Amino acid sequence: MADSSYPAELLYHPEHDWAQVDGDVATFGITWFAQDALGEVVFFDPPEVGSSVTAGESYAEVESVKAVSDVVAPLSGEIIEVNLGLGDTPEAINNDPYGDGWMVKVRLSDPSESDGLLDAAAYEATLS
């Protein structure tokens, strides 16, 4: 399992999701804290490419040995890519939550929404 970390280049939603914004496209995943709280991830139920997501609302589910949890979108937009590799290796969410464990790429409907997300220090402060 990866060490606790919160990369400075990412933005964070209080529901333990991260976004990496590049222009009008963002990559989403769950934070180290979220994957650690879930325990061993055994299944990722992805959304369909072309579906819409709304900031603060669920867009996918992650099943672990402990529970099934909703994954919350940190920003709004249209799903343009799903990490299909998680179908065969959902444990990548535990092993590399900010790399191979990414979940979806989204074309943002309003990139300015990212102004409402937390930086790494502010997110870590919510965990204490």
Q: Which two tokens stand for residue 51?
A: 């579906």
Q: Return the domain boundaries, the chain.
A: 12-123
CATH architecture group of domain 12-123: Beta Barrel (2.40)
pLDDT band at 84 (very low <50, low <70, confident <90, very high): very high
Q: Which two tokens stand for residue 54?
A: 């709304």
- For the chain, the average pLDDT equals 95
Q: Is the dihedral of CA 74, 28, 9, 93 positive or negative?
A: positive
The 10s digit of each residue's pLDDT in 30-79 is: 999 999 999 999 999 999 999 999 999 999 999 999 899 999 999 999 99
Q: Which two tokens stand for residue 77?
A: 């937009």
